[in-house]
Amino acid sequence: MPAFVVAAVVGVLFFLGYRYYSSYLARKVYALDPAFVTPAHEFDDGNDFVPTNKHVLFGHHFTSVAGAAPIVGPAIAVFWGWGPALTWIVLGTIFAAGVHDFGALAVSVRHKAKSIGTLAGDVINGRARMLFLAIIFFLLTLVNAVFAVVIGNLFVAQPGAVIPIVAEIPLAIAIGVYIYRTRSSALIPSIVGVIVLYALILVGNEYPITLDGLADALGVEQTRNVWVVLLFAYTWVASRIPVWVLLQPRDYINSHQLFIALGVIGLGLIIGLNQIQAPAINDVPEGSPSFFPFLFITIACGAISGFHSLVSSGTTSKQLDKETDARYVGYMGAVGEGSLATGAVLAATAGVAASQAEWEALYPDFATASGGAVGNFVAGTAEFANNIGIPLELAGVFAAVVVISFAATTMDTGVRLQRYVIQEIGELIKVRVLARNLTVATTLAVVIPLAMALIPGDGEAGYTFGVLWQLFGTTNQLTAGLALSVIAVWVTRRGRNAVAILVPLVFLLAMTTWALILNLRNFVEDEQWVLAPLDALIFVLALWLMVEAAIALRAAYRERPPVPVDGAGTGEPDAVAQANSGVGTSTAGPIEGPAGSPRR
Amino acid sequence: MTSRVILVRGARSAGGGGGCCSGDVRPFDEGGSHRHVPPDDAVGAVYRALRARLPAGVVIEVVSPSNWLWLVPALVSAGRQRGLRGAALRRSVRAGLAVESLIVDGVVVASGELPGPAAAVAAVEAELALR
| Pick among 3.40.47.10, 1.10.1200.10, 1.20.1740.10, 3.10.20.310: CATH of A3-281+292-355+374-590 | 1.20.1740.10
Name the minimum distance, in Å, from the CA of A527 to any CA of chain B: 30
Q: Which residues pair with A335 in a beta bridge?
A: none
- pLDDT of the residue at A60: 78
Query: What confidence tier does B64 reach under pLDDT thresholds 50, 70, 90?
Result: confident
Query: What confidence tier does A459 reach under pLDDT thresholds 50, 70, 90?
Result: low
How many whole angstroms separate alpha carbon A373 and alpha carbon A367?
10
Residue A182 has pLDDT above 90, yes or no: no
- Name the 3-class secondary structure at A494: coil
Give the dihedral of Cα atoms A52, A54, A59, A62; nearest 10 deg.
120
Residue B66 has pLDDT above 90, yes or no: no
Query: What confidence tier does A541 reach under pLDDT thresholds 50, 70, 90?
Result: very high
Give the number of other CB atoms < 10 A from CB of residue A275: 15
Residue among A45, A63, A310 with most chain B CBs within 10 A, to mutate: A63
- pLDDT of the residue at A495: 93
Residue B36 has pLDDT above 60, yes or no: no
- pLDDT of the residue at B41: 72
Q: Which of B26, B61, B70 sits opposite A115 (nearest CB)?
A: B26
Query: What confidence tier does A186 reach under pLDDT thresholds 50, 70, 90?
Result: confident
What totals of helices (H) and strands (E) does chain A contain, helices first? 27, 0
Over residues A62-87, the mean pLDDT reads 91
Residue A372 has pLDDT above 60, yes or no: yes
Nearest to A193 by CA among A118, A252, A120: A252
- pLDDT of the residue at A593: 47
C-alpha radius of gyration, chain B, whole number: 16
Mean pLDDT of chain B: 82
- pLDDT of the residue at A595: 42
Q: How far is CA A172 from the centre of its chain?
A: 24
Residue B24 has pLDDT above 70, yes or no: no
Residue among A57, A114, A248, A477 with most chain B CBs within 10 A, to mutate: A248
What is the per-residue pLDDT across A406-432, written as a single tens digit (0 to 9) for each?
A: 888 888 888 888 888 888 888 888 888
- pLDDT of the residue at A56: 83
What is the per-residue pLDDT across A272-326, written as a single tens digit (0 to 9) for each?
A: 999 999 999 999 999 899 999 999 999 999 999 998 998 898 889 989 999 999 9
Give the dihedral of Cα atoms A293, A76, B18, B95; nearest 10 deg.
-120
CB contact under 8 A, A64 and B19: yes
How many whole angstroms separate alpha carbon A523 and alpha carbon A183?
54
Let me know: does A105 contact A329? Beta carbons within 8 Å.
yes
CB contact under 8 A, B97 and A187: yes
How many whole angstroms separate alpha carbon A453 and alpha carbon A174?
31
Question: Strands B107-110 and B102-104: what pairing?
Answer: antiparallel
Quick one: closest CA in B to A407, which residue?
A: B18
Residues 3-22 of B with CB under 8 A from A: 7, 11-12, 14-22
Please report, for residues A48, A317, A444, B48, B50, the alpha-carbon distance to residue A41 in angstroms, rounded to integers and kept in the order given: 11, 11, 39, 12, 14
- pLDDT of the residue at B26: 64
Q: Give the phi and the psi of residue B7 in degrees, each rounded to 5.
A: -115, 125
Q: Which of A186, A305, A311 sits opposite B66 (nearest CB)?
A: A186
What is the per-residue pLDDT across A139-170, written as a single tens digit (0 to 9) for each?
A: 999 999 999 999 999 999 999 999 999 999 99
pTM assigned to the model:
0.89
User: Does the beta carbon of A127 lie under 8 angstroms from any beta carbon of chain B?
Assistant: no
Domain boundaries, chain B: 4-129
Residues 409-468 of A with CB under 8 A from B: 409-414, 417, 419-421, 423-424, 427, 435-436
CB contact under 8 A, B26 and A314: yes
Mean pLDDT of chain A: 88
- pLDDT of the residue at A570: 43
CB contact under 8 A, A427 and B31: yes
Q: Which residues pair with A320 in a beta bridge?
A: A52
What single DSSP character describes residue B103? Answer: E
Residue B111 has pLDDT above 50, yes or no: yes
Over residues A217-233, the mean pLDDT reads 93
Residue A484 has pLDDT above 50, yes or no: yes
Please report, for residues A131, A144, A228, B37, B112, the alpha-carbon distance to residue A137 in angstroms, rounded to integers and kept in the order given: 10, 11, 20, 22, 39
Over residues A369-376, the mean pLDDT reads 91
Nearest to A412 by CA among A150, A152, A234, A245: A234
List all residues 6 or more positions away from B121 whose beta carbon is below 8 Å from its beta carbon: B46, B49, B50, B53, B54
- pLDDT of the residue at A64: 78
What is the per-residue pLDDT across A39-64, written as a single tens digit (0 to 9) for each?
A: 999 988 887 788 988 988 887 788 77
How many whole angstroms separate alpha carbon A462 and alpha carbon A459?
9
Of all helices (H) and strands (E), which one includes residue A386?
Answer: helix A366-387
Q: How far is CA A25 from the centre of its chain?
A: 23
Out of A8-22, A56-70, A188-202, A523-537, the most confident range is A8-22
- pLDDT of the residue at B39: 55
Nearest to B55 by CA among B3, B108, B102: B3
Give the dihedral of Cα atoms B98, B110, B89, B58; nearest 10 deg.
110
Q: Give the phi and the psi of residue A42 in degrees, each rounded to 5.
A: -65, -40
- pLDDT of the residue at B11: 65
Q: Give A129 or A591, the one with higher predicted confidence.
A: A129
Q: How far is CA B87 from the centre of its chain?
A: 23
- Name the 3-class secondary structure at A250: helix
- pLDDT of the residue at A84: 97
